[in-house]
Amino acid sequence: MASNATLHASRSAERTLDLLEALADAGPAGLTKLARATDIPTSTTLRHLRVLTERRWVERREDDTYVLGPRALRLAIHTETAATWSRLRAQSQHHLQHLAEETGESAYLAVRSGDEALYLATAEGTKTIRHVGWVGRAVPLEGTAVGEALLENEPAGPPHRNLGAVEIDVGAISAAIWLGDRVVAAVSLLGPASRFEPADTHDSEGAVLDTARSIELSLRDSS
Amino acid sequence: MASNATLHASRSAERTLDLLEALADAGPAGLTKLARATDIPTSTTLRHLRVLTERRWVERREDDTYVLGPRALRLAIHTETAATWSRLRAQSQHHLQHLAEETGESAYLAVRSGDEALYLATAEGTKTIRHVGWVGRAVPLEGTAVGEALLENEPAGPPHRNLGAVEIDVGAISAAIWLGDRVVAAVSLLGPASRFEPADTHDSEGAVLDTARSIELSLRDSS
DNA sequence: GCGCAGATTTCATCTGGTGAAATAGCGTTG
DNA sequence: CAACGCTATTTCACCAGATGAAATCTGCGC
């Protein structure tokens, strides 16, 4: 965003997209925060947010923060991947729920999208300090636990672990979901790094693997 | 879209949104078709689509048609889980699933948003001819089955029905979900009008009511 | 009261979006 | 194979419309 060599094809349009992306990646935020995040003057930011609000792409809450609105929901149709993804999400939801309840940490489902891992669904953990809000967010494949899981080329390996790869203080345990001879998705357990020290996570690792196996079975049955 | 008296706050930005909306509502399309649909000159349309493509909000296929791309889906997915309604959605999802399986028709959850009813979540029916794609869509409260359900002021009434109110050929059965003394949402069963004649839908009406009751219980327990 | 941190309005400036027209490519028809 | 129709693409002179610095307003804490 900062310095772009690419010639501007359409400034206001790009900035509008910047704002939507900022909201999707960083969650709800107020005017100035958004302005800073996107590097757009506040007055201009306000004008754009007004348009987005009017069209219901974002909503303005009581406390003057902006959230993505109903119109953004409609983007989830008319794509081949959309259908596949929603099937995946539906099938895995309650396995994630189970994993979250068992471990207390937030459980995610991720798929590969280009050269990134994209978090598709979640069941939030039960502890008061827990991981939230990464659904719809993409992280690199290299150097992350999810990434390693998605890039696996042998089934039945151990789970993948990582501490502080994407964001300092975030720990992860991840396992691949195989269907036929390909990895179709990955389960990922996320929480504060302090609770993900190797010594403490033996049970969780088993639970993550079990969840991956269960989802594999669900998928196999339904296709 | 055609003639709008509302003062333009940002032409190119709005047109970019127009294009995304057109793609979301009408599915993949080529340059000229999109240009016509949005009432934008083709050269301008092309320029905008280039920006969107570069940013992976849309993708250009082999045959020169454009589809919504991964970035757009990410936004939708994020919105689905992060929005204000996430608890409601999570709680109702599997009741909707059940209703869809029992009746074969698509089951929706809707909430009131201003003076409209907004479809939030769905479980698709099992028949080949079924209702799809209304998640994120808003319909008027007046004269629709969902609308009547959301405007109810006495619990425990019969379900609401309608044929062809929003779109010709779409039939609906809808029941309110009460929490405390307020209607918080509504279940809506949608399908082809031909399958929604009063004579044939006795069972479905019961199923819709039951689903509404079940969701009420889930919500009550978890709050 | 004062100061601070946001949100909002204003408006002179000029950039960056606009779109008609011309060009190129492609399949089809006589 | 020339002529036609349809779609994608490029160009460029023009000026509507976006821009953002500065001023103002609003609410909150002290």
User: Which chain A residues touch B60 with a CB distance below 8 Å?
Assistant: none
Q: What is the pLDDT of residues A98-107, one digit of tens each?
A: 999 999 999 9
As its CATH architecture, domain A11-74 has Orthogonal Bundle (1.10)
CB A36 within 7 Å, strand C:
no
Q: Any CB–CB contact under 8 A between A10 and chain B? A: yes
Cα separation, A97 vs A106, whole angstroms: 9
Q: Any CB–CB contact under 8 A between B157 and chain A? A: no
Q: Any CB–CB contact under 8 A between A5 and chain B? A: no
Q: What is the mean pLDDT of residues A13-29?
A: 91
CB B43 within 7 Å, strand C:
yes
> Residues 6 or more apart from B58 whose CB is under 8 A from it?
B19, B20, B23, B49, B52, B66, B67, B68, B69, B72
How confident is residue A1, by pLDDT bands cut at 50, 70 and 90?
very low
Identify the helix (H) or strand (E) that includes residue A11: helix A11-26
B80, A79: Cβ pair inside 8 Å?
A: no
Per-residue pLDDT of chain B (223 residues; tens, 9 = 90+): 333 334 456 889 999 999 999 998 888 898 999 999 999 989 899 999 999 998 999 999 888 899 998 899 889 888 887 766 777 887 888 899 899 999 999 999 999 987 899 999 888 888 878 898 888 889 999 999 999 999 998 888 899 999 988 888 999 999 999 988 889 999 999 999 989 988 888 999 999 999 999 999 988 876 5
B67 with B28: CB under 8 angstroms?
yes
What's the confidence (pLDDT) of residue B66?
A: 93
Entry pTM: 0.82
**Spatial distance from the CA of A1 to the C1' of C5 (Å):** 26
What's the confidence (pLDDT) of residue B3?
A: 31
Contact residues for strand D with beta carbon within 7 Å? A 11-12, 15, 40-44, 47-48; B 8-14, 30-33, 42-43, 46, 64-65
CA-nearest of B53, B75, B51 to B64 is B53
How confident is residue A223, by pLDDT bands cut at 50, 70 and 90?
low
Q: What is the mean pLDDT of residues A115-142?
A: 89
How confident is residue A2, by pLDDT bands cut at 50, 70 and 90?
very low
Closest residue to C9 (CA, C1′)? A43
The fold of B11-76 is: Arc Repressor Mutant, subunit A (1.10.10)
Greatest extent of chain A over all pairs of C-alpha atoms, in Å: 55
> Which of A102-106, A144-148, A164-168, B37-41 bottoms out in mean pLDDT, i.e. has the lowest?
A164-168
Q: Who among A24, A48, A113 is closest to B10 (CB)?
A: A48
Q: Any CB–CB contact under 8 A between A29 and chain B? A: no
B2 with B40: CB under 8 angstroms?
no
Q: What CATH number matches the domain at A77-222, 3.30.450.40, 3.40.50.150, 3.40.50.1580, 3.40.50.2000?
A: 3.30.450.40
As its CATH architecture, domain B84-221 has 2-Layer Sandwich (3.30)
Express as a percent the part of chain A with pLDDT over 90: 49
CA-nearest of A157, A160, A130, A119 to A143 is A160
The per-residue pLDDT of chain A, averaged, comes to: 88
Q: Who among B23, B48, B113 is closest to A78 (CB)?
A: B23
User: Which chain B residues touch A70 with a CB distance below 8 Å?
Assistant: 113, 118, 136, 138
Residue B205: CB atoms within 10 A of its CB come to 19
Cα separation, B31 vs B26, whole angstroms: 13
Both tokens of B160, joined, read 């609401």
**Spatial distance from the CA of B33 to the C1' of D7 (Å):** 10
**What is the value of ipTM here, to two decimals?**
0.83
Q: Any CB–CB contact under 8 A between A70 and chain B? A: yes
**Spatial distance from the CA of A22 to the C1' of C6 (Å):** 19
What is the nearest CA distance from A162 to chain B, expressed in angstroms?
A: 24
Paired strand residues for B118 = B111, B138
User: Which chain A residues touch B79 with a CB distance below 8 Å?
Assistant: 24, 68-69, 72-73, 136
Show me where the domains of chain A are located: 11-74, 77-222
Q: Who among A17, A71, A82 is closest to B55 (CB)?
A: A17
How confident is residue A182, by pLDDT bands cut at 50, 70 and 90?
very high
B67 with B58: CB under 8 angstroms?
yes
* Fold matches, B11-76 and B84-221: no
Cα separation, B82 vs B119, whole angstroms: 16
